[in-house]
Amino acid sequence: MAEWHGPTLTQSIMVYDDVDAGGGGRRICRPLPLSDFGTYRSLTGVLYRSSAAVILGNSLEWLDFGIYGYSESEISEQLFGGSSAIGWATFGLGFAFRPVGAYVLGRLSDEKSRKLSFITAMLSMATSTALMSLIPAVCGEPGVTVDSYCVPNLLAAAIPAVFLRCVQGFSAGAAAGGVNVIQSELWSTTERKGAIAQSVGVQNVSGGFASMVSAAVVLGLREAMGTTRYAAWGWRIAFLIVVPPSLFASYLMHRSTPESNDYAKRDGHVEGEDDCVEGSPILGVADRKYETMPNDQLLDAQSCGGGGVEDGASGDRHGKNGSESMTPIWLLISVLIFSVFAIVAFNNLNVYLVDFVQTDYGVSANMSTLMVIVGKGVQVLMTPFAAFTADIKGWYWTSAFGGALCTVLAVPMMAAGVIGGVPVVWIFVSFLLPIVSTFWITNAPLLATSVFSVERRSQGTSMVLAMSAAMAGFFPLLMDFIPNIYVKGAVLAVVAAFGTIGILWIRNRAKSGKVIIYQRPELY
Protein backbone atom coordinates (compact mmCIF):
# COMPACT_ATOMS: atom_id res chain seq x y z
CA MET A 1 0.00 0.00 0.00
CA ALA A 2 1.27 3.44 -0.92
CA GLU A 3 2.13 5.75 1.97
CA TRP A 4 0.72 9.24 2.24
CA HIS A 5 3.71 11.56 1.98
CA GLY A 6 1.85 14.84 2.28
CA PRO A 7 0.74 16.52 5.52
CA THR A 8 -2.13 14.83 7.33
CA LEU A 9 -4.61 15.66 10.03
CA THR A 10 -5.43 12.72 12.29
CA GLN A 11 -8.32 14.31 14.16
CA SER A 12 -11.66 12.99 12.92
CA ILE A 13 -13.83 15.72 11.49
CA MET A 14 -17.10 13.90 12.19
CA VAL A 15 -19.27 14.50 15.24
CA TYR A 16 -20.68 11.64 17.33
CA ASP A 17 -23.71 11.43 19.64
CA ASP A 18 -24.33 8.24 21.59
CA VAL A 19 -27.63 6.52 20.91
CA ASP A 20 -29.82 4.77 23.45
CA ALA A 21 -31.63 1.46 23.27
CA GLY A 22 -31.99 0.08 19.79
CA GLY A 23 -28.78 1.69 18.64
CA GLY A 24 -26.61 -1.17 19.84
CA GLY A 25 -24.24 1.25 21.57
CA ARG A 26 -23.27 2.72 18.22
CA ARG A 27 -23.12 6.39 17.38
CA ILE A 28 -24.91 8.74 15.08
CA CYS A 29 -22.59 10.53 12.61
CA ARG A 30 -23.52 13.98 11.39
CA PRO A 31 -21.81 16.59 9.19
CA LEU A 32 -19.40 18.94 10.91
CA PRO A 33 -21.17 21.79 12.75
CA LEU A 34 -20.17 25.42 12.40
CA SER A 35 -18.73 25.35 15.91
CA ASP A 36 -15.82 23.25 14.60
CA PHE A 37 -14.95 25.64 11.79
CA GLY A 38 -11.35 25.99 13.02
CA THR A 39 -10.74 22.28 12.54
CA TYR A 40 -12.37 22.40 9.13
CA ARG A 41 -10.21 25.36 8.10
CA SER A 42 -7.06 23.48 9.14
CA LEU A 43 -8.17 20.45 7.16
CA THR A 44 -8.86 22.61 4.10
CA GLY A 45 -5.38 24.15 4.38
CA VAL A 46 -3.86 20.65 4.34
CA LEU A 47 -6.00 19.85 1.31
CA TYR A 48 -4.76 22.75 -0.79
CA ARG A 49 -1.11 22.33 0.23
CA SER A 50 -1.07 18.64 -0.66
CA SER A 51 -2.98 18.86 -3.95
CA ALA A 52 -0.60 20.88 -6.13
CA ALA A 53 -0.15 18.21 -8.78
CA VAL A 54 -3.81 17.43 -9.34
CA ILE A 55 -4.74 21.12 -9.25
CA LEU A 56 -2.17 21.92 -11.92
CA GLY A 57 -3.13 18.88 -13.98
CA ASN A 58 -6.81 19.82 -13.93
CA SER A 59 -5.94 23.39 -14.91
CA LEU A 60 -4.25 22.26 -18.11
CA GLU A 61 -7.43 20.74 -19.51
CA TRP A 62 -9.32 24.02 -19.17
CA LEU A 63 -6.41 26.17 -20.32
CA ASP A 64 -6.42 24.43 -23.69
CA PHE A 65 -10.19 24.44 -24.18
CA GLY A 66 -10.41 28.01 -22.89
CA ILE A 67 -7.78 29.29 -25.32
CA TYR A 68 -9.56 27.58 -28.20
CA GLY A 69 -12.97 28.89 -27.13
CA TYR A 70 -11.84 32.48 -26.54
CA SER A 71 -9.88 32.45 -29.83
CA GLU A 72 -12.54 30.63 -31.85
CA SER A 73 -13.11 33.51 -34.27
CA GLU A 74 -9.37 33.80 -35.07
CA ILE A 75 -8.86 30.04 -35.37
CA SER A 76 -11.91 29.71 -37.65
CA GLU A 77 -10.59 32.53 -39.80
CA GLN A 78 -7.16 30.91 -40.21
CA LEU A 79 -8.03 27.19 -40.39
CA PHE A 80 -11.70 26.85 -41.33
CA GLY A 81 -12.25 29.47 -44.02
CA GLY A 82 -13.94 31.85 -41.59
CA SER A 83 -16.77 29.43 -40.77
CA SER A 84 -17.88 29.88 -37.16
CA ALA A 85 -20.08 26.78 -37.45
CA ILE A 86 -17.08 24.60 -38.32
CA GLY A 87 -15.07 26.23 -35.55
CA TRP A 88 -17.68 25.48 -32.88
CA ALA A 89 -18.33 22.00 -34.31
CA THR A 90 -14.61 21.23 -33.97
CA PHE A 91 -14.75 22.56 -30.42
CA GLY A 92 -17.63 20.17 -29.79
CA LEU A 93 -15.79 17.22 -31.33
CA GLY A 94 -13.11 17.60 -28.70
CA PHE A 95 -15.77 16.95 -26.09
CA ALA A 96 -17.41 14.22 -28.15
CA PHE A 97 -14.25 12.10 -27.96
CA ARG A 98 -14.11 12.31 -24.17
CA PRO A 99 -16.18 9.14 -23.65
CA VAL A 100 -13.66 7.15 -25.70
CA GLY A 101 -10.79 8.32 -23.54
CA ALA A 102 -12.88 7.84 -20.41
CA TYR A 103 -13.49 4.20 -21.32
CA VAL A 104 -9.92 3.35 -22.32
CA LEU A 105 -7.92 5.30 -19.73
CA GLY A 106 -10.61 4.91 -17.07
CA ARG A 107 -10.25 1.15 -17.34
CA LEU A 108 -6.49 1.52 -17.08
CA SER A 109 -7.03 3.58 -13.93
CA ASP A 110 -9.27 0.98 -12.27
CA GLU A 111 -7.25 -2.07 -13.26
CA LYS A 112 -3.68 -0.76 -13.08
CA SER A 113 -2.98 2.69 -11.67
CA ARG A 114 -4.83 5.96 -11.02
CA LYS A 115 -1.59 7.91 -11.39
CA LEU A 116 -0.46 6.21 -14.62
CA SER A 117 -3.79 6.95 -16.30
CA PHE A 118 -3.78 10.59 -15.23
CA ILE A 119 -0.16 11.19 -16.23
CA THR A 120 -0.78 9.57 -19.63
CA ALA A 121 -3.76 11.87 -20.16
CA MET A 122 -1.76 14.98 -19.22
CA LEU A 123 1.13 14.18 -21.55
CA SER A 124 -1.25 13.40 -24.40
CA MET A 125 -3.03 16.72 -23.86
CA ALA A 126 0.27 18.59 -23.87
CA THR A 127 1.35 16.95 -27.14
CA SER A 128 -1.90 17.66 -28.98
CA THR A 129 -1.95 21.25 -27.72
CA ALA A 130 1.61 21.87 -28.93
CA LEU A 131 0.87 20.39 -32.36
CA MET A 132 -2.31 22.47 -32.68
CA SER A 133 -0.17 25.60 -32.65
CA LEU A 134 1.83 24.36 -35.66
CA ILE A 135 -1.03 23.87 -38.14
CA PRO A 136 -0.59 26.21 -41.16
CA ALA A 137 -3.34 28.62 -42.21
CA VAL A 138 -5.27 28.34 -45.50
CA CYS A 139 -3.70 30.39 -48.28
CA GLY A 140 -5.83 33.05 -49.93
CA GLU A 141 -8.62 33.12 -47.34
CA PRO A 142 -9.82 36.51 -46.07
CA GLY A 143 -7.94 37.46 -42.93
CA VAL A 144 -4.98 35.15 -43.64
CA THR A 145 -1.96 37.46 -43.85
CA VAL A 146 0.97 35.04 -43.44
CA ASP A 147 1.52 33.77 -46.98
CA SER A 148 4.80 32.07 -46.07
CA TYR A 149 3.13 29.60 -43.67
CA CYS A 150 -0.04 28.34 -45.30
CA VAL A 151 -1.48 25.38 -47.19
CA PRO A 152 -3.32 25.56 -50.53
CA ASN A 153 -6.71 24.13 -49.50
CA LEU A 154 -9.07 24.08 -46.55
CA LEU A 155 -8.90 20.33 -45.85
CA ALA A 156 -5.11 20.42 -45.39
CA ALA A 157 -5.60 22.70 -42.37
CA ALA A 158 -8.99 21.53 -41.10
CA ILE A 159 -8.30 17.78 -40.96
CA PRO A 160 -5.21 18.06 -38.68
CA ALA A 161 -7.09 20.54 -36.48
CA VAL A 162 -10.08 18.23 -36.10
CA PHE A 163 -7.82 15.24 -35.42
CA LEU A 164 -5.85 17.05 -32.71
CA ARG A 165 -9.02 18.31 -31.03
CA CYS A 166 -10.23 14.70 -30.92
CA VAL A 167 -6.93 13.61 -29.32
CA GLN A 168 -7.28 16.44 -26.83
CA GLY A 169 -10.80 15.33 -26.00
CA PHE A 170 -9.75 11.69 -25.69
CA SER A 171 -7.14 12.68 -23.11
CA ALA A 172 -9.36 15.11 -21.24
CA GLY A 173 -12.07 12.46 -20.94
CA ALA A 174 -9.88 10.47 -18.59
CA ALA A 175 -8.27 13.46 -16.89
CA ALA A 176 -11.55 15.04 -15.80
CA GLY A 177 -12.85 11.90 -14.13
CA GLY A 178 -9.46 10.78 -12.90
CA VAL A 179 -8.61 13.93 -11.00
CA ASN A 180 -11.94 13.94 -9.16
CA VAL A 181 -11.68 10.25 -8.31
CA ILE A 182 -8.18 10.73 -6.90
CA GLN A 183 -9.24 13.70 -4.81
CA SER A 184 -12.44 12.18 -3.47
CA GLU A 185 -10.68 8.93 -2.54
CA LEU A 186 -7.76 10.60 -0.81
CA TRP A 187 -10.20 12.75 1.14
CA SER A 188 -12.87 10.18 1.97
CA THR A 189 -10.80 8.27 4.53
CA THR A 190 -11.64 8.59 8.19
CA GLU A 191 -9.22 11.30 9.26
CA ARG A 192 -9.85 13.58 6.25
CA LYS A 193 -13.41 12.87 5.18
CA GLY A 194 -14.93 16.07 6.58
CA ALA A 195 -13.62 18.04 3.59
CA ILE A 196 -14.63 15.72 0.75
CA ALA A 197 -16.79 18.38 -0.95
CA GLN A 198 -13.90 20.81 -0.57
CA SER A 199 -11.60 18.21 -2.16
CA VAL A 200 -13.62 18.13 -5.38
CA GLY A 201 -14.21 21.88 -5.08
CA VAL A 202 -10.46 22.26 -5.51
CA GLN A 203 -10.98 21.16 -9.11
CA ASN A 204 -13.47 23.94 -9.67
CA VAL A 205 -10.99 26.43 -8.25
CA SER A 206 -8.28 25.17 -10.59
CA GLY A 207 -10.65 24.91 -13.57
CA GLY A 208 -12.12 28.35 -12.97
CA PHE A 209 -8.66 29.81 -12.46
CA ALA A 210 -7.48 28.14 -15.68
CA SER A 211 -10.42 29.59 -17.61
CA MET A 212 -9.65 32.99 -16.15
CA VAL A 213 -5.95 32.66 -17.03
CA SER A 214 -6.68 31.47 -20.56
CA ALA A 215 -9.01 34.44 -21.11
CA ALA A 216 -6.36 36.75 -19.66
CA VAL A 217 -3.68 35.27 -21.92
CA VAL A 218 -5.88 35.81 -24.99
CA LEU A 219 -6.77 39.34 -23.92
CA GLY A 220 -3.16 40.19 -23.07
CA LEU A 221 -1.78 38.90 -26.37
CA ARG A 222 -4.49 40.70 -28.34
CA GLU A 223 -3.65 43.95 -26.57
CA ALA A 224 0.10 43.52 -26.93
CA MET A 225 0.14 42.28 -30.54
CA GLY A 226 -2.96 43.89 -31.98
CA THR A 227 -5.93 41.98 -33.35
CA THR A 228 -4.42 41.42 -36.80
CA ARG A 229 -1.20 39.83 -35.59
CA TYR A 230 -3.00 37.85 -32.90
CA ALA A 231 -5.33 36.43 -35.57
CA ALA A 232 -2.36 35.57 -37.78
CA TRP A 233 -0.14 33.81 -35.26
CA GLY A 234 -0.68 35.10 -31.72
CA TRP A 235 -3.19 32.35 -30.83
CA ARG A 236 -0.42 29.83 -31.56
CA ILE A 237 1.70 31.36 -28.80
CA ALA A 238 -1.26 31.06 -26.44
CA PHE A 239 -1.42 27.30 -27.08
CA LEU A 240 2.32 26.85 -26.59
CA ILE A 241 2.17 28.51 -23.17
CA VAL A 242 0.22 25.47 -21.90
CA VAL A 243 2.93 22.90 -22.67
CA PRO A 244 5.60 23.54 -19.97
CA PRO A 245 3.10 23.41 -17.08
CA SER A 246 1.84 20.07 -18.45
CA LEU A 247 5.28 18.52 -18.17
CA PHE A 248 5.78 19.95 -14.69
CA ALA A 249 2.39 18.64 -13.52
CA SER A 250 3.23 15.15 -14.77
CA TYR A 251 6.48 15.23 -12.80
CA LEU A 252 4.72 16.42 -9.63
CA MET A 253 2.05 13.76 -10.01
CA HIS A 254 4.67 11.04 -10.36
CA ARG A 255 6.69 12.19 -7.37
CA SER A 256 4.18 13.36 -4.77
CA THR A 257 0.73 11.82 -5.23
CA PRO A 258 -0.12 8.36 -3.83
CA GLU A 259 -2.41 5.80 -5.44
CA SER A 260 -5.75 6.95 -4.11
CA ASN A 261 -7.51 3.60 -4.54
CA ASP A 262 -5.17 2.14 -1.91
CA TYR A 263 -6.67 4.60 0.52
CA ALA A 264 -10.22 3.95 -0.61
CA LYS A 265 -9.86 0.19 -0.20
CA ARG A 266 -8.07 0.17 3.12
CA ASP A 267 -9.73 -0.55 6.44
CA GLY A 268 -9.38 2.90 7.98
CA HIS A 269 -11.27 2.16 11.21
CA VAL A 270 -9.64 4.15 14.01
CA GLU A 271 -9.35 2.56 17.42
CA GLY A 272 -12.00 3.86 19.80
CA GLU A 273 -14.48 4.80 17.07
CA ASP A 274 -17.74 2.92 16.76
CA ASP A 275 -19.82 2.29 13.71
CA CYS A 276 -22.58 4.78 13.09
CA VAL A 277 -26.27 4.61 12.32
CA GLU A 278 -29.07 6.61 10.78
CA GLY A 279 -27.99 8.31 7.63
CA SER A 280 -24.19 8.31 7.66
CA PRO A 281 -21.32 6.01 6.73
CA ILE A 282 -19.88 3.25 8.85
CA LEU A 283 -16.48 4.80 9.42
CA GLY A 284 -13.56 3.01 7.86
CA VAL A 285 -15.44 0.02 6.46
CA ALA A 286 -13.97 -0.88 3.10
CA ASP A 287 -15.51 -2.61 0.10
CA ARG A 288 -13.73 -5.86 0.76
CA LYS A 289 -15.52 -6.41 4.04
CA TYR A 290 -18.69 -7.18 2.11
CA GLU A 291 -17.34 -8.73 -1.04
CA THR A 292 -18.41 -12.30 -0.23
CA MET A 293 -21.79 -11.47 1.32
CA PRO A 294 -25.05 -12.31 -0.47
CA ASN A 295 -27.04 -9.23 -1.32
CA ASP A 296 -29.71 -9.71 1.35
CA GLN A 297 -27.08 -10.21 4.04
CA LEU A 298 -25.17 -7.20 2.77
CA LEU A 299 -28.26 -5.02 3.12
CA ASP A 300 -28.87 -6.30 6.63
CA ALA A 301 -25.22 -5.82 7.58
CA GLN A 302 -25.29 -2.06 7.19
CA SER A 303 -27.55 0.07 9.29
CA CYS A 304 -26.82 3.55 7.95
CA GLY A 305 -30.11 4.32 6.26
CA GLY A 306 -30.53 6.53 3.25
CA GLY A 307 -27.05 6.08 1.91
CA GLY A 308 -24.29 3.63 2.50
CA VAL A 309 -20.93 3.01 4.00
CA GLU A 310 -17.54 4.52 3.43
CA ASP A 311 -16.53 2.95 0.16
CA GLY A 312 -18.63 -0.01 1.15
CA ALA A 313 -22.24 -0.67 0.30
CA SER A 314 -25.71 0.53 1.08
CA GLY A 315 -29.31 -0.12 0.28
CA ASP A 316 -32.59 -0.55 2.06
CA ARG A 317 -31.66 -0.23 5.71
CA HIS A 318 -34.34 -2.71 6.70
CA GLY A 319 -32.94 -5.23 4.23
CA LYS A 320 -36.33 -6.31 2.98
CA ASN A 321 -36.26 -5.48 -0.70
CA GLY A 322 -32.85 -6.62 -1.86
CA SER A 323 -31.62 -6.05 -5.41
CA GLU A 324 -35.15 -5.97 -6.84
CA SER A 325 -35.76 -2.61 -5.16
CA MET A 326 -32.61 -0.98 -6.51
CA THR A 327 -32.78 1.60 -9.29
CA PRO A 328 -31.72 0.09 -12.66
CA ILE A 329 -28.17 1.12 -13.43
CA TRP A 330 -29.10 2.38 -16.91
CA LEU A 331 -31.69 4.74 -15.41
CA LEU A 332 -29.31 6.01 -12.74
CA ILE A 333 -26.55 6.66 -15.26
CA SER A 334 -28.98 8.36 -17.69
CA VAL A 335 -30.16 10.78 -14.99
CA LEU A 336 -26.56 11.29 -13.89
CA ILE A 337 -25.42 12.15 -17.40
CA PHE A 338 -28.19 14.67 -18.01
CA SER A 339 -27.78 16.33 -14.61
CA VAL A 340 -24.02 16.66 -15.02
CA PHE A 341 -24.53 17.79 -18.62
CA ALA A 342 -26.70 20.66 -17.38
CA ILE A 343 -24.03 21.63 -14.86
CA VAL A 344 -21.21 21.45 -17.42
CA ALA A 345 -23.25 23.42 -19.96
CA PHE A 346 -23.49 26.31 -17.49
CA ASN A 347 -19.82 25.95 -16.60
CA ASN A 348 -18.87 26.21 -20.28
CA LEU A 349 -21.34 29.01 -20.97
CA ASN A 350 -18.66 31.65 -20.45
CA VAL A 351 -16.94 30.49 -23.63
CA TYR A 352 -20.09 31.11 -25.67
CA LEU A 353 -20.88 34.38 -23.90
CA VAL A 354 -17.66 35.96 -25.17
CA ASP A 355 -18.98 35.73 -28.74
CA PHE A 356 -22.63 36.26 -27.78
CA VAL A 357 -22.23 39.67 -26.12
CA GLN A 358 -20.12 40.85 -29.04
CA THR A 359 -22.63 39.78 -31.69
CA ASP A 360 -25.88 40.66 -29.91
CA TYR A 361 -24.91 43.67 -27.83
CA GLY A 362 -22.05 45.23 -29.78
CA VAL A 363 -19.45 44.78 -27.02
CA SER A 364 -15.81 44.69 -28.19
CA ALA A 365 -13.89 41.42 -28.16
CA ASN A 366 -11.57 42.65 -25.43
CA MET A 367 -14.40 43.88 -23.20
CA SER A 368 -16.37 40.64 -23.57
CA THR A 369 -13.24 38.67 -22.69
CA LEU A 370 -12.68 40.90 -19.67
CA MET A 371 -16.25 40.18 -18.53
CA VAL A 372 -15.46 36.47 -18.52
CA ILE A 373 -12.16 37.00 -16.69
CA VAL A 374 -13.98 38.85 -13.91
CA GLY A 375 -16.74 36.24 -13.85
CA LYS A 376 -14.32 33.35 -13.52
CA GLY A 377 -12.49 35.23 -10.78
CA VAL A 378 -15.78 35.50 -8.88
CA GLN A 379 -16.38 31.78 -9.40
CA VAL A 380 -12.94 30.91 -8.02
CA LEU A 381 -13.53 33.05 -4.92
CA MET A 382 -17.00 31.56 -4.37
CA THR A 383 -15.91 27.92 -4.71
CA PRO A 384 -14.48 27.35 -1.20
CA PHE A 385 -17.65 28.82 0.30
CA ALA A 386 -19.89 26.61 -1.88
CA ALA A 387 -17.86 23.51 -0.96
CA PHE A 388 -17.94 24.48 2.71
CA THR A 389 -21.72 24.76 2.50
CA ALA A 390 -21.89 21.26 0.99
CA ASP A 391 -19.66 19.76 3.69
CA ILE A 392 -21.70 21.41 6.43
CA LYS A 393 -25.26 21.60 5.11
CA GLY A 394 -25.34 18.77 2.61
CA TRP A 395 -24.30 18.18 -0.98
CA TYR A 396 -27.71 17.73 -2.56
CA TRP A 397 -29.17 20.82 -0.87
CA THR A 398 -26.29 23.01 -2.04
CA SER A 399 -26.39 21.75 -5.63
CA ALA A 400 -30.17 21.93 -5.89
CA PHE A 401 -30.07 25.49 -4.57
CA GLY A 402 -27.59 26.50 -7.28
CA GLY A 403 -29.51 24.70 -10.02
CA ALA A 404 -32.78 26.38 -9.05
CA LEU A 405 -31.15 29.83 -9.13
CA CYS A 406 -29.59 29.09 -12.55
CA THR A 407 -33.06 28.14 -13.82
CA VAL A 408 -34.52 31.45 -12.66
CA LEU A 409 -31.65 33.59 -14.00
CA ALA A 410 -31.28 31.95 -17.43
CA VAL A 411 -33.70 34.14 -19.42
CA PRO A 412 -32.78 37.48 -17.72
CA MET A 413 -29.09 36.75 -18.30
CA MET A 414 -29.48 36.20 -22.04
CA ALA A 415 -31.72 39.27 -22.33
CA ALA A 416 -29.58 41.44 -20.04
CA GLY A 417 -28.49 43.78 -22.82
CA VAL A 418 -32.08 44.45 -23.83
CA ILE A 419 -33.08 45.01 -20.21
CA GLY A 420 -30.41 47.55 -19.32
CA GLY A 421 -27.60 47.66 -21.86
CA VAL A 422 -23.96 46.80 -21.28
CA PRO A 423 -23.92 47.63 -17.51
CA VAL A 424 -26.62 45.00 -16.87
CA VAL A 425 -24.71 42.51 -19.05
CA TRP A 426 -21.74 43.06 -16.74
CA ILE A 427 -23.89 42.39 -13.68
CA PHE A 428 -25.28 39.12 -15.01
CA VAL A 429 -22.26 37.70 -16.86
CA SER A 430 -19.55 38.76 -14.41
CA PHE A 431 -21.33 38.55 -11.06
CA LEU A 432 -24.77 36.97 -10.75
CA LEU A 433 -24.19 33.91 -12.98
CA PRO A 434 -20.79 33.02 -11.46
CA ILE A 435 -22.11 33.39 -7.91
CA VAL A 436 -25.22 31.21 -8.26
CA SER A 437 -23.77 28.64 -10.65
CA THR A 438 -20.82 27.94 -8.35
CA PHE A 439 -23.12 26.22 -5.83
CA TRP A 440 -24.17 23.90 -8.64
CA ILE A 441 -20.90 23.41 -10.47
CA THR A 442 -18.57 22.93 -7.50
CA ASN A 443 -20.10 19.71 -6.24
CA ALA A 444 -21.01 18.00 -9.53
CA PRO A 445 -18.07 15.53 -9.48
CA LEU A 446 -19.08 14.29 -6.03
CA LEU A 447 -22.38 13.09 -7.44
CA ALA A 448 -20.55 10.96 -9.98
CA THR A 449 -17.81 9.58 -7.71
CA SER A 450 -20.25 8.69 -4.94
CA VAL A 451 -22.42 6.24 -6.87
CA PHE A 452 -19.62 3.95 -8.08
CA SER A 453 -17.72 1.42 -5.99
CA VAL A 454 -13.97 1.80 -5.78
CA GLU A 455 -13.31 -1.03 -8.26
CA ARG A 456 -15.36 0.71 -10.98
CA ARG A 457 -15.14 4.30 -9.83
CA SER A 458 -12.61 5.74 -12.26
CA GLN A 459 -14.15 4.30 -15.40
CA GLY A 460 -17.72 4.98 -14.25
CA THR A 461 -17.04 8.55 -13.14
CA SER A 462 -14.99 9.30 -16.25
CA MET A 463 -17.73 7.94 -18.53
CA VAL A 464 -20.45 10.00 -16.82
CA LEU A 465 -18.40 13.21 -16.90
CA ALA A 466 -17.22 12.53 -20.45
CA MET A 467 -20.70 11.80 -21.84
CA SER A 468 -22.01 14.92 -20.14
CA ALA A 469 -19.13 16.99 -21.51
CA ALA A 470 -19.69 15.50 -24.99
CA MET A 471 -23.23 16.86 -24.95
CA ALA A 472 -22.21 20.17 -23.41
CA GLY A 473 -19.40 20.62 -25.92
CA PHE A 474 -21.94 21.09 -28.71
CA PHE A 475 -24.05 23.43 -26.61
CA PRO A 476 -22.37 26.62 -27.94
CA LEU A 477 -23.11 25.39 -31.48
CA LEU A 478 -26.77 24.84 -30.56
CA MET A 479 -27.01 28.26 -28.97
CA ASP A 480 -25.37 29.81 -32.03
CA PHE A 481 -28.16 28.43 -34.24
CA ILE A 482 -30.96 29.90 -32.08
CA PRO A 483 -31.67 33.42 -33.35
CA ASN A 484 -33.90 34.74 -30.56
CA ILE A 485 -32.28 35.68 -27.23
CA TYR A 486 -35.40 34.79 -25.25
CA VAL A 487 -35.50 31.33 -26.80
CA LYS A 488 -31.81 30.94 -25.92
CA GLY A 489 -32.63 31.80 -22.32
CA ALA A 490 -35.62 29.45 -22.29
CA VAL A 491 -33.46 26.56 -23.50
CA LEU A 492 -30.96 27.27 -20.73
CA ALA A 493 -33.78 27.42 -18.17
CA VAL A 494 -35.21 24.07 -19.26
CA VAL A 495 -31.79 22.42 -19.15
CA ALA A 496 -31.11 23.81 -15.66
CA ALA A 497 -34.56 22.82 -14.38
CA PHE A 498 -34.33 19.21 -15.53
CA GLY A 499 -30.75 18.95 -14.27
CA THR A 500 -31.87 20.11 -10.84
CA ILE A 501 -34.80 17.69 -10.84
CA GLY A 502 -32.34 14.89 -11.65
CA ILE A 503 -30.21 15.76 -8.62
CA LEU A 504 -33.24 15.73 -6.32
CA TRP A 505 -34.44 12.43 -7.82
CA ILE A 506 -31.09 10.75 -7.12
CA ARG A 507 -31.08 12.07 -3.59
CA ASN A 508 -34.59 10.77 -2.91
CA ARG A 509 -33.74 7.35 -4.36
CA ALA A 510 -30.66 7.24 -2.13
CA LYS A 511 -32.65 8.18 0.96
CA SER A 512 -35.10 5.34 0.28
CA GLY A 513 -32.28 2.84 -0.26
CA LYS A 514 -32.80 2.52 -4.03
CA VAL A 515 -29.41 4.02 -4.97
CA ILE A 516 -26.13 3.12 -3.27
CA ILE A 517 -24.03 6.04 -2.05
CA TYR A 518 -20.43 5.03 -1.36
CA GLN A 519 -18.89 8.31 -0.22
CA ARG A 520 -20.27 10.39 2.67
CA PRO A 521 -23.96 9.57 2.21
CA GLU A 522 -24.91 11.90 5.06
CA LEU A 523 -24.26 14.77 2.64
CA TYR A 524 -27.21 13.55 0.58
DSSP H or E stretch at residue 441? helix 433-441
Residue numbers of the chain with a pLDDT score lower than 50: 1-29, 33-34, 267-323
CA atoms of 350 and 41, how far apart (whole Å): 30
Residue 32 · residue 13 · CB < 8 Å: yes
Write out pLDDT tens, residues 311-361. 433 333 333 344 457 899 999 999 999 999 999 888 878 778 888 888 888
Q: What is the pLDDT of residue 396?
A: 82
Parse the chain into domains and list their residue ranges: 51-262+327-523
CA atoms of 209 and 62, how far apart (whole Å): 9
* CATH architecture of the domain formed by 51-262+327-523: Up-down Bundle (1.20)
CA atoms of 174 and 233, how far apart (whole Å): 30
Q: What is the pLDDT of residue 435?
A: 92
CA atoms of 310 and 173, how far apart (whole Å): 26
- Classified as helix, coil or strand, 456 is coil
CA atoms of 47 and 17, how far apart (whole Å): 27
Q: What is the pLDDT of residue 326?
A: 86
Dihedral of CA atoms 97, 505, 204, 395 in degrees, nearest 10, equals: -150
CA atoms of 392 and 376, how far apart (whole Å): 24
Q: What is the pLDDT of residue 36?
A: 66
